[in-house]
Structure 1
Amino acid sequence: MTAIEKDRDILARTLWGEARSESLTGQIAVAWTIRNRVNDGKAKSWWGEGYAGVCLKPYQFSCWNSNDPNFAFLSGAKPIPAGQLAQAQKAADLVMSGTELDPTGGATHYYATTMPKAPAWAVGAKQTLMLGHHVFFKDVP
């Protein structure tokens, strides 16, 4: 598997783990937060390098935590339903290629509205978009 294929696979799996119940547009927005981290000047020192590095950075995307119920699917121990994976792969392709523009306005963070309360980092951050069950932010202190 090439580095580009690995980036696409890890990004698509992350989108499935983080936003499988969202529309294609919602998954594109989540993918753009990852792309914005990839393209951020501090990417290598903080976010990780490349799509796979950003997605797999410990504690950044909970679906990759070994105790998360999604991990068995993301690691390949259980199969991701083909149709759901295909949509996540399409979102990954559209964002990685730059075909779809960033609907998040440069967001590098988001959280799911299903969380019991907003994360502490959201205080003082600039909300850029609310889409589906996710709220997107940039300029996180």
Structure 2
Amino acid sequence: MTVTEKDRDVLARTIWGEARGESAGGRVAVAWTIRNRVLDGKTSSWWGEGYAGVCQKPYQFSCWNKNDPNFPYLSGAMEIPFRELAQCRIVADQVIDGKVQDPTSGATHYYALAMKTPPAWAAKAKQTLKLGGHVFFKDVP
């Protein structure tokens, strides 16, 4: 699969929007969840195609929802602090290039523990990791 510069940029911005308050390990786990969707083995995935397609698929990663407070930063209307985005770019590159292992054991979903009620899909999915403010899952029905 060819990975474009746009893919790398959108993945870094998604990591920032979804996990900037997490440890480096937490940011890697979020990035791997996205990579697991990208590499799901299907020719045409409902999650979208490539990193940019998966990250920006409507209603999959809330930071890209137009009503999310992160959206103006992700869209470029407001500037993400350089150092923070640079850290997320490093994580994005490491995950895309396979330089760090998947700590999520194949997770394709996660939710933030800050949610008052877990999403309905979590009840029937297999939890693979709890790290920082996120819980990760695979085999989501």
Q: TM-score, normalised by structure 1?
A: 0.96
Does structure 2 retain, via aligned residues, the 8 Å contact 1:37–1:43?
Answer: no
The 5-angstrom pairing of residues 14-93 of structure 1 reads 14-42=14-42, 44-93=44-93
Q: Which residue of 1 aligns with 2:109?
A: 109
Distance 1:95-1:43 versus aligned 2 partners, 3 A rule: farther
Task: Spell out, residue by residue over 1:59-95, the C-alpha distance to the aligned partner (whole angstroms, 9 max, x if none).
Answer: 0001001111100000000000111111111110110
Unaligned runs of 5+ in 2: none
SS in 1 for 2:33: helix
Unaligned runs of 5+ in 1: none
- Distance in 1 between the 2:52 and 2:90 partners? 17
Which letter does structure 2 place at the counterpart of 1:68? D
SS in 1 for 2:106: coil
Distance 1:3-1:41 versus aligned 2 partners, 3 A rule: closer
Task: Spell out, residue by residue over 1:43-68, the C-alpha distance to the aligned partner (whole angstroms, 9 max, x if none).
Answer: 62311000000001010001001111
Q: Which residue of 1 aligns with 2:135?
A: 135
Does structure 2 retain, via aligned residues, the 8 Å contact 1:105–1:128?
Answer: yes
- Distance in 2 between the 1:42 and 1:119 partners? 25
Which letter does structure 2 place at the counterpart of 1:75? S
- Distance in 2 between the 1:43 and 1:68 partners? 31
Does structure 2 retain, via aligned residues, the 8 Å contact 1:38–1:48?
Answer: yes
SS in 2 for 1:128: strand
SS in 2 for 1:101: coil
Task: Spell out, residue by residue over 1:85-130, the C-alpha distance to the aligned partner (whole angstroms, 9 max, x if none).
Answer: 1111111011000000000000000000011111011011000000
Does structure 2 retain, via aligned residues, the 8 Å contact 1:109–1:136?
Answer: yes
Which has the larger displacement, 104-113 or 43-52? Answer: 43-52
Structure number with higher helix proportion: 1
Q: TM-score, normalised by structure 2?
A: 0.96
SS in 1 for 2:46: helix
Which letter does structure 1 place at the counterpart of 2:121? W
Which letter does structure 1 place at the counterpart of 2:12? A
- Distance in 1 between the 2:95 and 2:45 partners? 23
Does structure 1 retain, via aligned residues, the 8 Å contact 2:3–2:50?
Answer: no
Query: What is the aligned length?
Result: 140
